[in-house]
Amino acid sequence: MKKLRSIFFGVFLTFSIVAAAPGGDQKNEAPIGTAEMKSDRTIVLRLRAEFPGGGGCGEGLLEYPPTHPDYKQILEHIGPLDPGQTVLVRPWH
């Protein structure tokens, strides 16, 4: 399951990068979903990516408990987040 999650996340990041192209200011790019922090500090990502030219889309729900190896990286990307709070997620570059 862990390997499948890593593969899915990698593919999703690729789609979000392609969908965000061509370049531009990352702060002005449309969000690709939301991040919510549960009371136990688990981060829940609800993400959506669209293929260029409207050729399809993908959605995903990913959960990262504080013990997950990528937890710190995810939190650094989405910014400050407190339990019970939801924020928009910008594309990864």
34-61 pLDDT, tens per residue?
999 999 999 999 999 888 887 888 899 9
Contact call for residues 45 and 74 (beta carbons, < 8 A): yes
Q: What is the pLDDT of residue 21?
A: 47
8 pLDDT higher than 60: no
CA distance 55 to 70: 30
Q: What is the pLDDT of residue 50?
A: 83
Q: What is the pLDDT of residue 77?
A: 95
Token reading at 41 = 């500090």
Q: What is the pLDDT of residue 17?
A: 45
10-19 pLDDT, tens per residue?
555 555 544 4
